[in-house]
Structure 1
């Protein structure tokens, strides 16, 4: 189908249907000027989405969405992609806009002879700007993007009575109080503050002790990792993460308990990793490592990870990470098995006293063979502080699955502080403002584009 002539210009209009671009230029009516608006309006601080209002000839109902005789039946959906391009004097084509058609309104005159559709095309910024809901916090978005096996963010709110597991791979995380019964001695749900940029989590109250626990659906895997995030600063506070594998706990096959003890400054100011092998009528314990002065009892958010993997020779390798850095590692002559239970205690350990201050605790995560790097998860817990403005825009777009074109060097942009809560476009604009760059729509794709501040210098005419 030949492109539509408009004066001395040739304008081509295409829609994406049936998995390919279809030229509909001959059906675009030439009875009005084809005006395309894009860019930043006068006195506006934000670039507006691209707009165009072509009228499409609908005689015969070719573009009627409910016409079963149309070759496009069932394909003209809400937000059908559309693109328009201009033929230059040398015969090449240059894109004017990539957008989408939100709806297909039908119109006709009184005679019934003129059937047309006054569609309104819009660029990607229109869709991204709809809604008022802020994004999840940076740690939650990081974990969601990397597909854990099970995840308890513990951001259920103050009315919660348990922590929801989001992926259906485990039971809710429930509280067991001092007397050993569920829902007795509850922690403070929704009142724990890990950091100003993270959503509130569960708070393990001071002057009490207890634990929260959940079961995990077993998986066929060759390694696993368990993460948790805390903010501990009280003298004498003791918290413990325990995870249990799927061992039978019989006379010959132990059920293995991996345990991370976090002893505050007035206790020992250290982190210990130990292992307990429980048989039917006996058990044995071993201290695998002690990390003195780990730097996690300072009132800031901290991330801990334990990784255990099959070594391929009948044993396992283990590694403990604190704030993204490997703190200790080793091997153990032990059959590898996946996990089936996780438990987090506060003060219920031998020698542990009653905690003097509350401990915020959250983002208990169970990973399979391919977890994100521990340092990346720790950076997300710290709100990606010191992240380059351009890289923040790139990351946010990747998390939202929004295509991004870049003009300039993203690493040659200023560093930013922790990412605060906010809507997607607001976060992008904040990063762009720090750099002095421009967020806009790409012309040759249905995508966003970012031009860094430095790329705007010394441009050729």
Structure 2
């Protein structure tokens, strides 16, 4: 028997002392027995009513602490010394635990405990003690799916065996997850029984029958014999996929056999299953039997670090509890976080061979130039330099401006002479390159060489001297588009072989890739010693940024990564930026949907502020997933297929909802600007005439000014959708256990529908976006309160789709039409708004005064009049949505499902 006849199979686990964002470090202890049943577990996720952004997921439970195990200071506690502020706690529901203790000849049938039915290949059968499949054909695959077991974060475990030791090729057992029957896409984790008795693991992504390795074949060190049972466990949390295997007769190891983080955008949290594969080349004959037993899948409802371990007791002092509240990663990121340094600073300080780095991002009151190298000497500068100046490349927080007769210099950390070194700096001249050759920048090396980089009308020149003896002097043209009055990042890479020094000079601009040239001369490279910049009339007021040097040639100071950082990642798509930032900061992040809008340069801010900037600019949704974050791009919200369909008439909604029809999100005038850029203002005059001005002034970090107009109109569209919010849609999953599968696929931003709402909304099924929820789990209860907003703003037109139609803004009903009347006369002011008379585009539905009216094939007349214009509908079908009424003259006429241009 299944829930709610039997208790909800709720499990609570604790990974004491584990890194809260690294699932591979977790050893999860089952603490379910310590959870006070009366309080159960409450999880709150997503954006709550009236919230602007998604908050941290919280998990509340009261633990029995009479043994003192949840007191961090108790030396007799089970986890003494490990119960850290940040230890992850996890709540999960076991959806299926199938022992296959039934007899079936074709397919696996139905698990009697969970009531879940297996579908798919009939080569599977149940023997009464296990599931098995016999495959006698090379390269044959058998798949069986439990489509009701759904979820994004999962733990899967099972026991498997092969009756023989494969010869010639492997036998593969696979756990299938995120299975989408419509697109035939899914993931699978292999437990591969190899010839010779070795076990390896692998993870693949399957898309339309194309197999892509996410994790290649990985040895586990586990061996087997014919018929020996192997235990497999797979943890899928966020984008992390972890696999471990061990002999079923032994103890489970703490370490995972392999792990990988999937970086592909994810969109499905559908079913799970099993797949068997007899690899081509296996020569064991036709009677190979593979078996599976003790198959279990838990759906993880929340994984949250616990920032506080309180101890509470009653008046007697005998009933001691620990009421914990786990809070997701957004809790930590919202407090105690320092601003990230500029993209160039972060990029350059990754080079392990730095011997000096002067970012030139000092404040305006500084009297020396900071050196990022530990123990490195600060640079010197004259008081006339302007520090903390604006106008730098996108990747610099600030720059130095050098007026006439100003100087700055630095000394590299001493290093032994090597086979090579590199030096780099960024500069922008204030005026046209000088006619006479003028020194821009010089540096010295330990062998007494002076290196001089000079500029004149169309060329750069590098000269190397020793004691006034010229060892090399060569000139090179700038290159088209690389004029030094633009920001250029210069790099000189010096190597030596057999007494010949090779100099690779290169430079790139913020808009173009790198170009350069190579010269050679007789000598030695020495080691970097010092650098100096001094201005004269020709180079006055130049701007400078990030002077640094490395020893050796391994680092590439002109790589595409450096170039992108120099430009501040301008033009980077919002989803890609969120993913990159999260990776740099060690935060797991799952991308959902296409990666979105081109952004402007990355600014110095906290990691959360930068992620929120991606969210604001792209109109996406930043939320939590597993141990980390999820980023749903704006396009991922368009035209979603509902993941859960509810019906008032069958009791899916547990309590009368309370829609809110207010002005919280009304915005009918938008002023949109971008940092150091332009601004655009748009407004909806009709809305303003009805409700007054509701203005919004927003700065978004878009890459270019032309993007502003489209983004402003899109925000105006979102702000003027005239539909109520639904701050509470209540579900009782104990009363409707058939909804559990669908509920486990709901994430922040998912679309749901509710049919047959109360009479107040007659004829209008609720079409909603899930903003957040609160769920309460107890032994015989599973209650959910959803926070929802209208989905209609996210319906956009699809080119050449019959469902996507333009609307009319100037059509009204010419005269009153009685209820049920099938002839209706329309008046149109704008000739561009007349209605289609083509048979191929009919029928189509209109909405007039709340009633849905269908125009039949041939039912719309041609246009008459010279303005205003008239068209007549004949043979109309009335009350399509169940609303039958008299339609007043002057009523606005609109297409029932208008298509809107997507941003």
TM-score range, shorter chain: 0.7 to 0.9
Query: In the alignment, what sits opposite 2:396?
Result: 198
Query: In the alignment, what sits opposite 2:407?
Result: 210
Aligned counterpart in structure 2 of residue 256 of structure 1, from 449, 469, 481: 449
User: Which string of whole-angstrom CA distances, capped at 9 and with x for unpartnered residues, describes residues 337-371 of structure 1?
Assistant: 33122222323xxxxxx246412212112134223
1:158 aligns with 2:364: yes
Larger Rg: 2
For residues 102 and 70 of structure 1, do their structure 2 counterparts lie closer, same or farther at Cα, with a shift above 3 Å needed? same
Aligned counterpart in structure 1 of residue 470 of structure 2, from 284, 291, 304: 284
Between 1 and 2, higher relative CO (CA 8 Å, sep ≥ 6) is seen in 1
User: Which string of whole-angstrom CA distances, capped at 9 and with x for unpartnered residues, describes residues 109-131 of structure 1?
Assistant: 12111111111101111111224
Figure out how many residues of one structure are paired with residues of the other and give that number.
423
For residues 71 and 132 of structure 1, do their structure 2 counterparts lie closer, same or farther at Cα, with a shift above 3 Å needed? closer
The answer to whether the 8 A contact 1:405-1:450 is kept is yes
The answer to whether the 8 A contact 2:17-2:83 is kept is yes
Q: Which deviates more from structure 2 when the two are superposed, residues 210-219 or residues 65-74?
A: 210-219
User: Which string of whole-angstrom CA distances, capped at 9 and with x for unpartnered residues, describes residues 181-226 of structure 1?
Assistant: xx5x6423333642477322322113x2434232322157544221
* Cα distance in 1, alignment partners of residues 72 and 29 from structure 2: 16
1:230 aligns with 2:237: no
Aligned counterpart in structure 1 of residue 307 of structure 2, from 72, 77, 102: 102
Q: Matched residue of 1:290: which SS?
A: strand
For residues 26 and 337 of structure 1, do their structure 2 counterparts lie closer, same or farther at Cα, with a shift above 3 Å needed? farther
1:137 aligns with 2:342: yes
* Cα distance in 2, alignment partners of residues 118 and 28 from structure 1: 10
Give, in angstroms, the shift of residue 162 of structure 1.
0.9
TM-score (norm 2): 0.44
The answer to whether the 8 A contact 1:228-1:362 is kept is yes
For residues 109 and 299 of structure 1, do their structure 2 counterparts lie closer, same or farther at Cα, with a shift above 3 Å needed? farther
Aligned counterpart in structure 2 of residue 339 of structure 1, from 510, 528, 551: 528
* Cα distance in 1, alignment partners of residues 618 and 641 from structure 2: 18
* Cα distance in 1, alignment partners of residues 308 and 90 from structure 2: 15
* Cα distance in 2, alignment partners of residues 221 and 448 from structure 1: 45
For residues 102 and 268 of structure 1, do their structure 2 counterparts lie closer, same or farther at Cα, with a shift above 3 Å needed? same
For residues 277 and 357 of structure 1, do their structure 2 counterparts lie closer, same or farther at Cα, with a shift above 3 Å needed? closer
User: Which string of whole-angstrom CA distances, capped at 9 and with x for unpartnered residues, describes residues 76-96 of structure 1?
Assistant: 122112222111145410111
State the Cα RMSD in Å: 2.8
Structure 2: 5+ residue stretches without partners: 19-24, 97-113, 115-295, 644-903
Aligned pairs for 1:30-429 within 5 A: 30-89=37-96, 90=114, 91-131=296-336, 133-147=338-352, 149=354, 150-168=356-374, 170-175=376-381, 186-191=384-389, 193-195=391-393, 198-206=396-404, 208-218=405-415, 222-235=419-432, 238-247=438-447, 255-261=448-454, 263=455, 267-278=456-467, 283-292=469-478, 295=481, 297=483, 299-311=485-497, 313-323=498-508, 324-347=513-536, 354-355=537-538, 357-368=540-551, 369-410=554-595, 413-429=596-612
Q: Matched residue of 2:561: which SS?
A: helix
* Cα distance in 1, alignment partners of residues 466 and 46 from structure 2: 65
* Cα distance in 1, alignment partners of residues 491 and 641 from structure 2: 48
For residues 431 and 6 of structure 1, do their structure 2 counterparts lie closer, same or farther at Cα, with a shift above 3 Å needed? farther
Q: Matched residue of 2:346: which SS?
A: helix
Q: Which deviates more from structure 2 when the two are superposed, residues 191-200 or residues 373-382?
A: 191-200
* Cα distance in 2, alignment partners of residues 198 and 437 from structure 1: 27
Structure 1: 5+ residue stretches without partners: 176-182, 248-254, 348-353
The answer to whether the 8 A contact 2:384-2:406 is kept is no
Q: Which deviates more from structure 2 when the two are superposed, residues 157-166 or residues 302-311?
A: 302-311
Give, in angstroms, the shift of residue 100 of structure 1.
0.4
